Structure 1
Amino acid sequence: MNAMRGEVRVELVGQSRTLCLTLGALAQMEAGLGVRGMAALAERMAVMSAGDLLVVLAALLRGGGEVELADGLAGASVDARAAALAVAEAFKAAV
């Protein structure tokens, strides 16, 4: 884990996983949520659906190098509370 890069380790699907808010992750979030720009992304994230949460979590997982889980996230048994906390931790680490 590289804290200087903003990486965080979280427990998801029974394993410790790395999440990171990268420029690529932000672009994936914008595309996946159908928004353009940081203001629109922030507005959309204020009222996220379960599907939105999966899009954001997958982008953060890819940013952390967890591509296999990110690509199979829709079929994985992910606890909603754990997913929300993981996303919050990743954004907190990025500041």
Structure 2
Amino acid sequence: MANPWAGEVEVVLNGAPLVAKLTLGALAELEAGLVTGSLLDLVERFESGRFSTRDVIAVLLAGLRGGGWRGSAADLSGAEIGGGPLAAIRIAAELLARAFTLPEAEA
């Protein structure tokens, strides 16, 4: 089960629930693999709705690897993501938000 306070998001891949998290290493891998721009540019693309499917796959792959998954980009591209493409977009956006937002203080 994913722990949102630790920046984790659950991804169902081929029917199996997995934990995804954008660790520092996963963020470095994500940034190195970006075709254009920086991580800030990527976040801005998601915030403005100008992201590409390549962006979604890159974020999901980095998050899954940060969560311990050892698959490849080809494995992810050929996999069934629970909830389909819209869920994949939501999960990628959630990963970015959790990586770059401080948790709210408990009341």
The 1:38–1:51 alpha-carbon spacing in structure 2 relative to 1, beyond 3 Å, is closer
Match among 69, 72, 75 for residue 75 of structure 2:
72
The letter for the 2-side match of 1:18 is V
1:2 Cα deviation after fit = 6.7
Structure having the higher helix fraction is: 1
How much identity, in percent, do the aligned residues show? 42
Cα distance in 1 for partners of 2:63, 2:73 equals 8
Task: Out of 80-89 and 1-10, give the one that drifted further.
Answer: 1-10
1:50 aligns with 2:61: no
**Aligned residue in 2 for 1:24:** 25
Aligned residues: 95
Q: Could you report, residue by residue, the CA deviation over 1:2-28 in whole angstroms, capped at 9, with x for unpaired residues? A: 735322223333121101011122122
Runs of 4 or more above 6 Å deviation: none
Distance 1:40 1:91, change over 3 A: closer
Q: For the residues of structure 2 that align with 1:88 and 1:40, how far apart are their CA atoms? A: 13
Residues 93, 39 of structure 1: alpha-carbon distance in 2 compared, 3 angstrom cutoff: closer
Matched AA of 1:66: W
Q: Which moved more, 1:27-36 or 1:50-59?
A: 27-36
TM-score (norm. length: structure 1): 0.74
Specify every segment of 5 or more residues in structure 1 that has no aligned partner in the other structure, as ranges.
none
Unmatched segments (≥5 aa) in structure 2: 102-107
